[in-house]
Structure 1
Amino acid sequence: MQPTVVAEPPVVLPWYRHLYVQVLIAITLGALLGHFAPGTGEAMKPLGDAFIKLVKMIIGPVIFLTIVTGIAGMTHLRAVGRVFGKAMAYFLFFSTLALVVGLVVANVVQPGAGMNVNVADLDHSVVDGYVSKSHDLTLVGFVLDMIPDTLVSAFTGGNILQVLLVSVLFGIALALSGDRGRPVADFLESLTIPVFRLVRILMQAAPIGAFGAIAFTIGKYGLGVLVQLGWLVGSFYLTSLLFVLVILGAMCRLCGFSVLKLIRYLKAELLLVLGTSSSESALPALMEKMEHAGCGKQVVGLVVPTGYSFNLDGTNIYMTLAALFIAQATNIELSLGQQVTLLLVAMLSSKGAAGVTGAGFITLAATLSVVPDVPVAGMALILGVDRFMSECRSLTNFIGNAVATVVVARWDNALDRARLAAVLDGHVVDPVAPPHPTRPMGH
């Protein structure tokens, strides 16, 4: 029997006080500044960079506190492995499906057909920097990079998976400590309140960050490049939209909620991701909102950070679509076997591109470096529009991880469905601090 959710009276704010309105206005003003005064727009770059650094500053503590307090409160530690296994099964299926969707769309739409580009005429130097970075994205290197040099360095290196590893191990150790570890668990539980309050304070600077980031993007790259490669950009945006509404939407419907309502619930965070071109900028807010919507704290703590490295639907669609675009533009015919090889390589190289602006371009370079059939130099064709495509990648990745959190929570009986419905319908307002479900995960 589902618990009854008492609707909280909504707090009516003036329209200009809503964060999503402020971010939307900031994006509009930034785009106008970048278009009409490109030099000034480029000079706004530090505003966007500073905001992203502020958010990254708090990501480590948010992940650590959420995971450790969640695991410490579990009655059975095997629940950690169970949730992780379900999450990885979900990630593997939908990430592979996203790669296949990008491959199918590229073959049907043929966005690069007719361009007849001579590879010898391309400027190889403009992509050399990305290729050199891509050499670090080997499978062995990725696994070793998950292990921090020290316990503390995990929080200073900016690697989400390192923080995740330390948090899970510390949470398990704390749970095994029994009553002697209770004071530490209580302290960390109390510490979550000011940390999430700090997140809310930092989010007030979101409009400034979005303004600076979008002004720089438009000022530096201009809108002209969108016209030149509009068919590729349009195909990618439309494919991502259909993936979210049709494929993820069907999964949401099977689990008893609407993807459109979920998108509406996360509109402020989505606008922030759009402005900054990085899903990482909204990671702390996503964890808070998913827990507030009725997802078990333990599930949120494990699924969201892991999903930022293993559940990159937008990046995967982009990789196969862009790779085939380059092949078509340079008149290279790829057999079915070559395309399958490309897909398998992309499955590995796409892991680890967590939330970093432009990381999708680097992982594409890593994929093409391994698959010699498509020239890496062809990436110069899409370098000009990659920043605009990065925004769509980040938005799709963000929505995909939000959906994954709810679905995995539902699979593990750690979802308060009545509360989720009330929150998505707008009947429950955001609390000062996120709720802490008392129902043990998996019961």
Structure 2
Amino acid sequence: MAQRLTLYILIGMVLGIVAGLAMHAAVAEPALSLWAGYLTIPTDLFLRLIKMIIAPLVFSTLVVGIAHMGDTSALGRIGARTLGWFLGATLVSLTLGLIMVNLLQPGAHTGLALPPTGEGMGLDAKGFNLHDFFVHIVPASITEAMANNDILPIVVFSVFMGVALVAVGEKGKPLVAGIEALVAVMLKITDYVMRVAPIAVFAAIAHAVAINGAGILLTFGRFVGSFYLTLGVLWAVLIGAGFVMLGGRARSLVRLIREPTLLAFSTASSEAAYPRLLEALEVFGVPRRIASFVLPLGYSFNLDGSMIYMTFATLFIAQAYGIDISIGQQILMVLILMVTSKGMAGVPRASLVVIAAVMGHFHIPEAGLLLVLAVDQFLDMGRSGTNVIGNAVATAVVAKWEGALTPPRERLDLDTQA
């Protein structure tokens, strides 16, 4: 089923490109925007279906995983190892973006019309602060967090719930059994939802190409090409780290995460890949108690694609405006982003908000973000796919450190894996 779905998604991408180019050539504005707008319906419905299952899936798998740990001290050990890997991956991603943008100089001599420096984006960069982030971690209401698909507060509540179930012992077993049943049901719903993924992929690609046409990729070709080359280097680093830590088994991991990576890439949403990525990691041999803990944290703290984009896009804009940023200032930029990027969770348009806040520190015009917005859809596809790869490697490595990695399985046993 997984191999067929991957093939269908690839077919959807190709057909989407063809349909988008045909629509862009044959239909003029304003009809083009109207008809292309209809193409967003299947994609939006699919992403809403994904959002529908993520909160109960994260809650149920994490609670059951912690309940089956038995020893809550293991939770602290896994958490420390997880955050240690995330911090290292963040530093590598930010630094690599910095190195590549300096080597490739995509913003120099672009010939693009620069937005006036006084023009703003309407982003509340000053409202982005660590106080709000730390307060946001703890949910005021778990139902509100689930309604908003706010992963980090859901993780915090689930940890409390799982630890409490361990503490009450026998009294909590009926509730654990009920939540285990919920896990099986949510994974079955995931299977149903994924069957419409190729249609959503077709619509998403067709819409992006119909609106922008192939010409925009030529106009911003140097920037887009340089960024994807940078992502390629990061992919090599992440997968290389996987081979160092996991040995030859990393080949199996790469094969298993092809589908969720492709899904995230084609829909420009790493969230869309979460359920399938969780299943792929369990098939790889990561116990659910580890995968269900590390993966949600990764979606909040380990967005490698977004990290590399922050330094790359910021310096691209500085280069476009002819602003010289010294090596010392660039190192300071990485350190600032190391801290501020960890508060991205739950912030609307988080990447742009963080970039806008950092640009202010170095007197780079916020209007420069209008340059990257023109091709942001195509860049977001690469960022989303990279986030999936980074979190897959991180989860597998933490399982290896715990000595909990089991042999790969041919299929996922929904009833017994815990």
Does 2:361 match 1:375? no
**Cα displacement (A) at 1:118:** 8.0
Does 2:78 match 1:97? no
Q: Distance in 2 between matches of 1:267 and 1:120?
A: 39
Give the match for residue 27 of structure 2. Answer: none
Q: Which amino acid in 2 is paired with 1:308? A: Y
Map Cα deviations across residues 140-182 of structure 1 (whole Å, 9 max, x no partner).
1111122222132221112110111111111111111111111
Match of 1:272 among 257, 263, 273: 263
Give the match for residue 45 of structure 1. Answer: 40
Give the total of aligned pairs: 409
Conserved 8 A contact 2:43-2:200: yes
Q: How does 1:231-250 map to 2 (within 5 A)?
A: 231-250=222-241
Map Cα deviations across residues 360-396 of structure 1 (whole Å, 9 max, x no partner).
3333223223x23322111111111111110110111
Q: Which amino acid in 2 is paired with 1:18? A: R
Give the match for residue 174 of structure 1. Answer: 165
Give the match for residue 69 of structure 2. Answer: 74
Q: Percent of aligned positions with the same letter in both sequences?
A: 36
**Cα displacement (A) at 1:183:** 0.9
**Cα displacement (A) at 1:184:** 0.7
Give the match for residue 34 of structure 1. Answer: 20
Q: 1:277 to 1:357 in 2, by over 3 A?
A: farther
Task: Output the TM-score relative to the length of structure 2.
Answer: 0.92
Q: Distance in 2 between matches of 1:260 and 1:352?
A: 33
Conserved 8 A contact 2:78-2:402: yes
Alignment root-mean-square deviation, CA? 2.3
Conserved 8 A contact 1:56-1:158: yes
Conserved 8 A contact 1:60-1:155: yes
Does 2:109 match 1:114? yes
Conserved 8 A contact 1:146-1:162: yes
Give the match for residue 3 of structure 1. Answer: none
**Cα displacement (A) at 1:356:** 9.4
Give the helix-richer structure, 1 or 2.
Answer: 2
**Cα displacement (A) at 1:222:** 2.2
Conserved 8 A contact 2:282-2:412: no
Task: Output the TM-score relative to the length of structure 1.
Answer: 0.87
Q: Distance in 2 between matches of 1:77 and 1:207?
A: 41
Q: Distance in 2 between matches of 1:260 and 1:360?
A: 31
Tell me which moved more, 337-346 or 261-270: 261-270
Match of 1:148 among 139, 148, 160: 139
**Cα displacement (A) at 1:434:** 6.8
Give the match for residue 286 of structure 1. Answer: 277
Conserved 8 A contact 1:26-1:210: yes
**Cα displacement (A) at 1:20:** 0.8
Structure 1 unmatched runs, 5+: 1-12, 421-427, 438-443
Q: How does 1:2-401 map to 2 (within 5 A)?
A: 18-38=4-24, 39=32, 40-115=35-110, 121=116, 124-125=119-120, 127-128=121-122, 131-132=123-124, 134-257=125-248, 259-353=250-344, 359-369=350-360, 371-401=361-391
Give the match for residue 423 of structure 1. Answer: none
Tell me which moved more, 251-260 or 112-121: 112-121
Map Cα deviations across residues 382-417 of structure 1 (whole Å, 9 max, x no partner).
11111111011011110000000100000111111x
Structure 2 unmatched runs, 5+: 25-31
Tell me which moved more, 148-157 or 191-200: 148-157
Conserved 8 A contact 2:67-2:163: yes
Q: Distance in 1 between matches of 2:283 and 2:314?
A: 39
Conserved 8 A contact 1:273-1:279: yes
**Cα displacement (A) at 1:357:** 9.7
Q: Distance in 1 between matches of 2:388 and 2:278?
A: 11
Q: How does 1:431-442 map to 2 (within 5 A)?
A: 431=412, 433=414, 435-436=416-417
Secondary structure in 2 aligned to 1:18? helix
Q: Which amino acid in 2 is paired with 1:27? A: M
Map Cα deviations across residues 99-135 of structure 1 (whole Å, 9 max, x no partner).
000001111111111237786636825x22xx23x44
Conserved 8 A contact 2:67-2:166: yes
